[in-house]
Amino acid sequence: MSYNCAGMPERAARRAILVVHCRNKPLGQDVDLGAIADNTPGFSGAENDLRRATELAIKMFAHFGMSDNVGPVFYEHRNEHPFLGQTLATDGGTSDATVHLIEQEARRVLLHASEDAKKTIMQHRDALDRRVAALLANETVDRSELSTLLGPATSPLAKPKTVPVSALPDA
């Protein structure tokens, strides 16, 4: 079975999974398992990406002391109620004002990252469009196909830009 970089099954594997699950089940003549597999790509989804980025940003400020505004203190933050599935204020003594400050800092860093990502996408739009077309056709692209698609590397990968959290604009 073939998987993409997110660990999700590719088109042929998804079709094989559907065949197994539909075995001995009556299906209409118009049911096309290949078409269903084509329309169920493996992806993590924006909600999951945003959830993970937000959790990390909150940890940066509540747990790792990476904000001058919050300070180098560990704060308990965001307990999910096991039955209601809701995020509740903590029982650990963190004030509502501090929780609000932590959330403001997280929002600020995530907005800055989002703006940086948009700028990068716009600067490299042509290459991105070529990658999208190749992935829509094949779902995965190996290193040699990627090199053919984008051409040879012109320079080594640039060191990622780092910006101190204190230098980010206010949200």
pLDDT tens digits, 6-43? 556 677 887 888 888 888 888 888 988 888 887 776 55
What is the residue-averaged pLDDT of the chain?
78
Query: Distance between CA atoms of 56 and 118, rounded to whole angstroms?
Result: 20
DSSP 87: E
Distances in Å between the alpha carbon of 148 and those of 29, 40, 41, 90, 130?
A: 41, 28, 24, 52, 11
| Mean predicted confidence (pLDDT) in 111-122 | 92
pLDDT tens digits, 123-159? 989 888 888 887 777 777 777 887 787 777 666 555 5
Domains and CATH numbers, the chain: 1-43 (no CATH), 46-167 (1.20.58.760)
Residues 6+ apart with CB under 8 A from 18: 33, 36, 37
Q: Is pLDDT of 57 > 90?
A: yes
This prediction has a pTM of 0.57
Query: Distance between CA atoms of 9 and 38, rounded to whole angstroms?
Result: 11
Query: Distance between CA atoms of 42 and 7, rounded to whole angstroms?
Result: 8
